[in-house]
Chains A and B, each alone.
Chain A
Amino acid sequence: DGGITQSPKYLFRKEGQNVTLSCEQNLNHDAMYWYRQDPGQGLRLIYYSQIVNDFQKGDIAEGYSVSREKKESFPLTVTSAQKNPTAFYLCASSIYNQGAAYNEQFFGPGTRLTVL
């Protein structure tokens, strides 16, 4: 988990509320990612960012939003439009070299979100 911090570790939300999950990295990585993990489904990509002020939708972006105003920060907002937000959320970062797909991703410790 070194170099990437996520907060809070546990988060509880009432239905209809937006919540923001924090992700910070000090690895000087250009690329950052948000994944959702549900039991038996592995990791699904929500959003990713290759560079500051730019981000792209992943496979399950509906109901989520992100920003990338600083290289080291990539917060994720889970909006009330997300139908089933209870899950474990993982942030990751990696070196980004265009055309080179061999850089491993480094993961934060995760945030477990529960909607009450």
Chain B
Amino acid sequence: AQSVAQPEDQVNVAEGNPLTVKCTYSVSGNPYLFWYVQYPNRGLQFLLKYITGDNLVKGSYGFEAEFNKSQTSFHLKKPSALVSDSALYFCAVSAPSGSARQLTFGSGTQLTVLP
């Protein structure tokens, strides 16, 4: 069975500072990894994904994530945080299968960027 761990329920960072939201995963075979963001009372928005190739993936709104196979991690990063980045962030993992039931989500990390 595949699983995702987001070890931090809450991350606080000052505006302008770099931010990191952590994610580790467990899956059989090659993983496909995703980051989503959710603003209050809204649906999830796709940020970026890793399928294969370059371990550093760039996504929307200046976010990027680094795939580390040896550490089974896929941490989300941004060089300079904005107050508007404050939201709930979800990491998700999937693996090749014959089913549409693909994504397993982490429990989420609440990011607060302080002005």
Contact = CB atoms under 8 A, between A and B. Distances in A.
Interface of A: 1, 4, 6, 30-31, 33, 40-43, 45, 48-50, 56, 58, 88, 90, 92, 94, 96, 98-110, 112
Contacts of B51: 102
B107 A40 contact: yes
Interface of B: 9, 32, 34, 36, 41-46, 49, 51, 90, 94-103, 105-108
B105 A48 contact: no
B74 to A, nearest CB: 14
B46 A45 contact: no
Contacts of B101: 45, 48, 56, 58
A104 B105 contact: no
Given A42-B90, A42-B106, A102-B51, A1 B98 contact: no
B98 to A, nearest CB: 5
9 contacts: A42-B90, A50-B100, A56-B99, A90-B43, A99-B98, A100-B96, A103-B102, A105-B46, A106-B46
